[in-house]
Structure 1
Amino acid sequence: MKNVYMDYAATTYVKPEVLDEMMPFFTEKYGNPSSFYGISRETKMAIDKARNRVSKALNCDVSEVYFTGGGSEADNWAIKGVASAHRKKGNHIITTKVEHHAVLHTCEYLEKQGFEVTYLNVDKEGFIDLEELKNAITDKTILVSIMFANNEIGTIQPVKEIGAICRERKVLFHTDAVQAVGNIAIDVKEMNIDLLSLAGHKIYGPKGTGALYIRKGVRIDNLIHGGGQERARRAGTENTASIVGLGKAIELATENLEEHNKKMTFLRDKLIDGLLKVPHTRLNGPRGDMRLPGNANITFEFIEGESILLSLDFEGICASSGSACTSGSLDPSHVLLAIGLPHELAHGSLRLTLGDGSTEEDVDYVLEVVPPIIKRLRDMSPLWEDFLKKGEKYYDVQR
């Protein structure tokens, strides 16, 4: 049995080069960056170097990068911070129905505090309608938060156009770019982005570290209070080793982006095409360049996604049925429901995501293993039995 990891959208391993740069800050270079003696100056300089690496990857000023404890914290800070700082101007926020729960649950929290939130629809491939966005903006709108690329179905939103709309209407634009960094070339200036969230563990860096880009001049309240770290914006002694790791990881992730994407796209398309040869399957999300290069999300009719995962695990294949943050939930994916899948189809989804460790042999193994698993599970499924009895009339009943 092979061991094949295809859940890179959930997390990645730490690359050796990243770990090598981190290690001295656990043992030798342990000084508190806020202190004034020699070993503390070393750690402060290391954090400055990491900040410079992040700013270069995003094409922003180093003073616009703030380190956080991860992507979820960055999302929370961006949304709650803007909401708090701009409450006198308005109480309306716009997001979408397919956001990560770090955004959705934050917006739901703010609704309880008296804010109004508009959740934009998406089409069958996961794209928002730019006209719907324009029409949703009012004189009370203070923030638009729309993810750069979807973590489940890989849809890449027209971020530059969204940013231009927001800039024209004088509304702040935040994007959750956790899945986009390391897969898409990002220029926050050209794309009219005011705030951007990213996470280290999606780009072969350490878990528990992230960053928030805040455009110079944007008013935003602090999320965490205490000390004067991060230029008095994010309290707490800096996690130096992980910040160093994030800096190295983002440098590696963005230096050979074209070559990386060429490899991932080839493997992705081979995987998708092979899985769609199984009868009664469908691809969730778009084809082509507007899909993350390493993302494949397939629905297999008449069976449960969790059953597929258990069977794949037995064969040494790591995959998921959606976001890792909701893997314990029995509810169908909110993303798949939002693109129009009925509950029974949304339950039968499989997400396979590729990364730097993926090979063509891995793809071939998955394509060898999946079809017999689907056949076996369908043979045990009453839904499949019902379909075989009724044929196309089955769909008429379901509709």
Structure 2
Amino acid sequence: MTNLAQRMKLVKPSPSMAVSQAAKALVAQGVDVADLGLGEPDFDTPPHIIDAAHKAALAGDTRYTATGGAAPTKDAVAHKFHTENGLTFGHDEIVVANGAKHIIFNALLATLERSDEVIMVAPYFVSYPDMALMLGGVPVTIATTRESGFKLTPDALEAAITPRSKWLILNMPGNPGGAVYLDSELKALGAVLARHPQVLILSDEIYEHIIFDARTFISFGKACPELQDRTLIVNGVSKAYAMTGWRVGYGAGPGWLIKGMTTVQSQSTTNVCSIAQAATVAALTGPQDNIARFRSAFESRRDLVVAGIAGIKELALDPPDGAFYAYIECGEIIGKKTPSGLILADDADVTKFLLYEAQVAAVPGEAYGLSPYFRLSTATSEDVLTNAVTRISKAIQRLTRGPQ
């Protein structure tokens, strides 16, 4: 007997967390696993940020803050948007929550009616469809291609919009595909959205600072200011400042939406940890040199993995424009047989094969809505990545032709 709500039948646990847990189980058995399942920087949080948190705790900054964020935190977020993105937001247009994922959840909870459609671009972040389903919405997926850089086109967007469309979720740089949009590409999407005033835009920009090849990041809000009254920009400190465990995300958008999201938060988690907020102020307003250091390391790691995969003829990977993932096409090994006799029927089988026969933890493309691919996180050391690519290559060489 179960008393779980019916909606829970629609929701899956996070695939990336599941992969990481399976990898940890093997490690506990003494197996040497290269765990490339989770997207988490391997760098330590910069010392000045930790110092700010320590000082805040010693100073007694350990009580409730305003639900949507303490005034200094909102000041720091407004400063970031103004100086980095050329956008101006007041305190009533900013909300701080427990990670960027929490911002997205609150936005959908505050706005979705049953059967409202949420448009998302595949490959997408694994939580987007499950959040929509959990809240009574209907995920609508637009598939992209490796050849297009995993980018949404205006024609595809136009074709997906219906009278029930409530949200379009963009993610740039994209997890897992690494897509980065040009200003002109965002404006073209904005022109489509201008014809459909019922569609809200959620621009998930959490990987903003992890962008490669001297590209310039353009926020959707900057590219399409005419849509500001229905655009929510989502960001946070987790990726850029190596602060995943601090759990601080922030959103900026129209006051009516931010007010609704703040009300949702007031009846759930209340405020973000006061000490973590102090750390966030230091991150956003303090020295920014670590961003360039982290980005340089992530770009070198991307290059290493791209070069390594290029040496495996059965796989395909174009250099991602940003984020720290490799979304690798694996169609040529679907249907092949492993040394244990398993026929690789899909990319889920591929990742099982990689985990148990190559000792490399990866996430199947089906989790991101686009197959046949698998995702590797490149947010780890070059030694680990080199070893992982070598293991993958050797494992694939052991595959044989399946039944004809």
Letter paired with 2:40:
A
- The CA deviation at 1:27 is 3.0
Cα 1:255–1:52 change in 2 (3 A) is farther
Aligned to 2:394: 375
Aligned to 1:230: none
Unaligned runs of 5+ in 2: 1-31, 339-349
Letter paired with 1:211:
Y
| Structure 1 range deviating more: 239-248 or 61-70 | 239-248
Cα 1:263–1:257 change in 2 (3 A) is same
- The CA deviation at 1:69 is 0.8
- The CA deviation at 1:209 is 1.7
Among candidates 108, 123, 130, match of residue 133 of structure 2: 108
- Mapping for residues 329-344 of structure 1, pairs under 5 Å: 332-334=364-366, 338=370, 340-341=371-372
- Mapping for residues 207-356 of structure 1, pairs under 5 Å: 207=245, 208-216=247-255, 218=257, 221-222=260-261, 225=264, 236-251=270-285, 261=295, 264-283=298-317, 286-287=318-319, 291-292=321-322, 294-298=324-328, 301=333, 304-306=350-352, 308-309=354-355, 320-322=361-363, 332-334=364-366, 338=370, 340-341=371-372, 346=373, 349-354=374-379
Aligned to 2:189: 162
Matched, 1:81 2:105: no
CA RMSD of aligned residues (A): 4.0
Aligned to 1:16: 47
Relative to the length of structure 2, the TM-score reads 0.67
Question: What CA distance in whole angstroms lies between the structure 2 residues aligned with 1:15 and 1:54?
Answer: 18
Cα 1:237–1:216 change in 2 (3 A) is closer
Letter paired with 1:15:
P
Letter paired with 1:201:
S
CA contact (8 A) 1:144 1:174 kept: yes
Question: What CA distance in whole angstroms lies between the structure 1 residues aligned with 2:268 and 2:88?
Answer: 19
Question: What CA distance in whole angstroms lies between the structure 2 residues aligned with 1:201 and 1:162?
Answer: 28
Unaligned runs of 5+ in 1: 36-42, 228-232, 314-318, 323-331, 388-393
- Mapping for residues 164-179 of structure 1, pairs under 5 Å: 164-170=191-197, 171-179=199-207
CA contact (8 A) 2:53 2:275 kept: yes
Alignment identity in percent? 12
Matched, 1:148 2:163: no
Question: What CA distance in whole angstroms lies between the structure 2 residues aligned with 1:70 and 1:129?
Answer: 29
Letter paired with 1:149:
P
- The DSSP-based 3-state class of the residue aligned with 2:223 is coil
Letter paired with 1:100:
F
**Superimposed CA distance per residue, residues 223-244 of structure 1 (whole angstroms, 9 cap, x where no aligned partner):** 75475xxxxx986144121122
Relative to the length of structure 1, the TM-score reads 0.67
- Mapping for residues 13-162 of structure 1, pairs under 5 Å: 13-32=44-63, 34=65, 44=70, 46-56=72-82, 57-58=84-85, 59-63=87-91, 64-83=93-112, 91-110=116-135, 112=136, 115-124=137-146, 125-157=149-181, 158-162=185-189
**Superimposed CA distance per residue, residues 253-301 of structure 1 (whole angstroms, 9 cap, x where no aligned partner):** 9667677656543442233112321342221xx436xx21643333564
Letter paired with 2:351:
G
- The DSSP-based 3-state class of the residue aligned with 1:146 is strand
Letter paired with 1:75:
I
